[in-house]
Structure 1
Amino acid sequence: MSDRPNNQPNIVLIVGEDIGRIAGCYGDDYVRTPNLDRLAARGCRYDEAYSTYPVCAPSRSTMVTGQYPMKLGTHQMRSTLLHPPRLFTHELRDAGYHVSWPTKLDFNFEPTSGWRDDDEPWVDRLRTNAMPDRPWFAYVNLAITHESSMWPDVGEYAHREGLEHWDPNRPRPPRVTDPDGVPVPSYLPDTPVVRGDIARHADNIAELDRQVGQILDALDVSGQAGNTVVVFLADHGRGLPREKRWPYTAGIHMPLLVSWPGVIEPGSVSDRLVSWVDLAPTFCSIAGAAIPAHYDGSAFLGAAEAPPREHVFAARDRMDESFDLVRVVRDRRFHYVRNFFPQIPYCQRNVYMENMPTMQELRRLNAAGELHGSAAIFMSAAKPAEELYDVRTDPECVHNLADDPDHADVRARMAAELERFLASIDDLGAYPERDLVAKGLVADRIEEFRARLAPLPPEYQRGYPMAVLDPADLPPF
């Protein structure tokens, strides 16, 4: 061990893909997560932590830039920002940290030079106490819970759509979870197909948890556990309809577990509102690095810890080839959604999403007239312009109170807060993507995604036969 100052702890950041807020320490007794539970017991479990987007690249751009994607220009899924800003890791390196970042980037841009020191796996280095002799930041992305890992073991869907990353020979976690024992949210049909997807995801989480255990064990044997902050979080919700890609509770309400020996009380629980836009300033605060003035978030730990926030904000924009514009504000009790294009249905065709058996099940049951209750909401031909949910009584966000006279004052207050926020950042989602291309902000990838547009079979179509890539594709209404 070096004689560096203790006010610069090491930092480990573990990001799980497409998990949702699912773990034993969050009360989910159908999943096997002894190591996530171990991390929670060592530190703090945050119960009110939120991603800014329910899909990976915009969410991850928030984490590393400390800025909202719709302010920065990383809000469209699979876009490319041409002139990206510095990452928080630049600030850490300036403060003397060694940054190891060997796995997934996916920020909707290529980082500028000097953002990391190496891209080599570091867990074995940690286990053998071969990490740098100065403060270090180590990142790892655990991909086993990604949406594609919920698809059937036979890669027929991926091969049909030509999804280039699919590897049908990659190892799969054993099927252990009993589908009959998993909870099915009310917005999905309770069928064997849906239960099978949820059970498969639970098995994937168990494998992710095993990998988390390897990291914690390596830290323990390294002798550096006492001076290392460990953070675990997820980018967004699991890859099911109305979860991933949608900014309801299941899409953005995420796990956040943080241990910091000697600073955070073991086994503690926080109800502080935290947004992923707060991560970059918090890492700077922990490291004693300068926090850039242009960051939109504020530190929730460390020397620069700021007062708690009152609201978190989230959004949905183009998801690959499917255009939309949705903005969200949430406080401790209410979740307000503004659908700027209510005439676009929830369930536009999306190549990636169509591979999920649950999505296929929704379409099949709806075409047969067998989808009812809350599960039928997602298959509506249009959306309400406003949605309001009392998450204390309705955490699944299925009972819309926007037109309820008893909640008119709440709706008005939340709508005003959202308008204030959007005005403060000059929301780039209000501009057509072609305008952002013309301004030189993002690369022109429009035709790349337009080429993916294809109609669903007639019996599955809702609202429009094809996905909408651009507001100009919409007929007048």
Structure 2
Amino acid sequence: MANTPPNFLFLVGEDVGRHHGCYGDDFAHTPHLDRLATEGCLFRNAYTTAPVCSPARSTMVSGQDPRKIGSHLHRSKLAKPPRVFTEELRDAGYFVNWANKTDFNYDEEADNFKERLADTRTDWRKDLAAGKLPDQPWLFFYNFNMTHESQLWPSDAEANVPKPDPQRDDAELDELPGLEVPPYMPDTRSTRASLVRYYKNLEEQDRQIGHVLEDLENQGLADNTVVIYISDHGRGLIREKRWCYPAGVRMPMIVRAPGLTEPASVRDDLVSWVDIAPTILALAGVERPDNYDGRPLLGPDAEAEPDCVFFGRDRMDSSHDRVRGAADRRYLYLHNDRPDIPYAQCNRYMETSPVTTETRRLSLEGKLRFPDNVWMQLTKPQEELYDLVSDPHGVHNLADREEYAQTLSTLRDAVADWCERIDDKGRKTERELIDQGLILDDLAGLQERKGMILPELDPEGVFSTRFDADKV
């Protein structure tokens, strides 16, 4: 990379799992991201901090765990947005264009946050193609939303997303070579149709990213631009998005940093989304704030790998739960603080998915068997432990097996220490955080917009199991 400060392309695929050719997915058609991996570095153990968008995205910009700063509750906004990494870049002379999605769980009207985040928020892709660029080092962010959960629903996906491979439209859903139906989903035509829509949308995302990378090269900027591609969390299907299983939290990450990443290199060290901001700042030559939780991954300031990385889930729209988890290079551990609450709580947004409604119907009819019945269990174990080498989908819980007792104890202690270290705000109720002034009081608005059933209005916890069986 040149001696001048590098530029950055920060590209996020929304609701995307590790379903690319470079990650070994035989059904995927992602030639441009596959090429990016051959020109840069593919990370095999990269983890989000939360399996839903707003807590995960708050980590990307703050460099801090959402449970530490109080951004862990989906759609509950921090009253005072913390300083974000783009402010550090701008203070150092960078131009920042944050083109689209924020969704950080911040009150973006407070403390001039919108002005602090970026110099501008426009679609920079045409400017890049035309060579209309700042005369200073820059960071351009773009969120590719065609893979969002809502685009897997037939009424939206077919209308809004181009079909780059029309031959697949005519293929029989039960004869699609390479298409993997995860073992925790029922193998039905509805499931397969949703998966095909996802892959179509992912292919379109790849096509658009390909145009961006081509324009970058045509402008002669590829050799001095760091390209980072990640996702916020897993695919918008059951036991993926919203859950701390491998498909929900173990994410794609590809980085091309000329002079710093070897072509076609692969890294197995543990990475968390808390590492994104410190890595960008380190490569830009900007000192990172002391309150950051992550480490630089590249360059002379790169730091050693941690023993494990951490993640968790809390309330997501109308689904109330609290899970804390950790992963090392081989095992994924979960502690369910509410084992009495089923996995498959009703969530109005999620209920639109044909996969969700069909899974509920098949369960009511007694037609599900292990492992596609796991998601419909009425209670959860207190602890879960999965061997990601022998069980990459995370369906065989090893927590009760004596031979794994030491691994279980090590990861359990690590999670407990982490919760203490960050002063986990999830240990307080939402009302307590409101009364402390940490988050805004918008519970009534959330109830109206999201169909939430508030805990204080439902003391018996009926919200945890309610769904309309007549509509599935």
- Alignment map for 1:131-210 (pairs within 5 Å): 131-152=133-154, 154=155, 170-173=160-163, 176-177=167-168, 178=171, 179=173, 180-181=175-176, 182-210=179-207
User: Percent of aligned pairs with the same residue?
Assistant: 45
Q: Deviations over 1:184-230 (max 9, x none)?
A: 11101111110111111000000000001010011011111111111
Pairwise CA distance, 1:127: 2.0
1:31 aligns with 2:28: yes
1:280 aligns with 2:270: no
The aligned counterpart of 1:265 is: 262
Conserved in 1, the CA contact under 8 Å of 2:275 and 2:295? yes
Between 176-185 and 280-289, report the one with greater CA deviation.
176-185
The aligned counterpart of 1:422 is: 419
- Alignment map for 1:224-373 (pairs within 5 Å): 224-373=221-370
1:474 aligns with 2:465: no
List gaps (5 residues or longer) in structure 1. 156-166, 456-465
Pairwise CA distance, 1:17: 0.3
Pairwise CA distance, 1:66: 0.4
The aligned counterpart of 1:396 is: 393
1:74 aligns with 2:36: no
2:80 paired residue among 83, 94, 97: 83
Pairwise CA distance, 1:170: 3.2
Conserved in 2, the CA contact under 8 Å of 1:54 and 1:252? yes
The aligned counterpart of 2:375 is: 378
Q: Supply the distance in 2 between the matched residues of 1:146 and 1:302 (Cα, whole angstroms).
A: 33
Aligned residue identity for 2:121: D
Between 197-206 and 439-448, report the one with greater CA deviation.
439-448
Pairwise CA distance, 1:389: 0.8
Distance 1:176 1:329, change over 3 A: farther
2:47 paired residue among 46, 50, 56: 50
Conserved in 1, the CA contact under 8 Å of 2:162 and 2:204? no
1:8 aligns with 2:5: yes
Pairwise CA distance, 1:173: 3.0
Task: Look up the SS of the partner of 1:313 in the other structure.
Answer: strand
The aligned counterpart of 1:101 is: 98
Pairwise CA distance, 1:176: 4.7
Q: CA RMSD in A?
A: 2.0
Aligned residue identity for 2:429: P
Q: Deviations over 1:250-285 (max 9, x none)?
A: 001111111112221111111111100110101100
List gaps (5 residues or longer) in structure 2. 463-472
Conserved in 2, the CA contact under 8 Å of 1:15 and 1:235? yes
Q: Deviations over 1:88-123 (max 9, x none)?
A: 000111111110111111101123532211112212
Query: TM-score if structure 1 supplies the norm length?
Result: 0.91
Conserved in 1, the CA contact under 8 Å of 2:447 and 2:454? no
Q: Supply the distance in 1 between the matched residues of 2:458 and 2:335 (Cα, whole angstroms).
A: 16
Q: Deviations over 1:432-451 (max 9, x none)?
A: 00000001110112223334
Equivalent residues, number: 450
Aligned residue identity for 2:151: S
Between 263-272 and 324-333, report the one with greater CA deviation.
263-272
Q: Supply the distance in 2 between the matched residues of 1:348 and 1:359 (Cα, whole angstroms).
A: 11
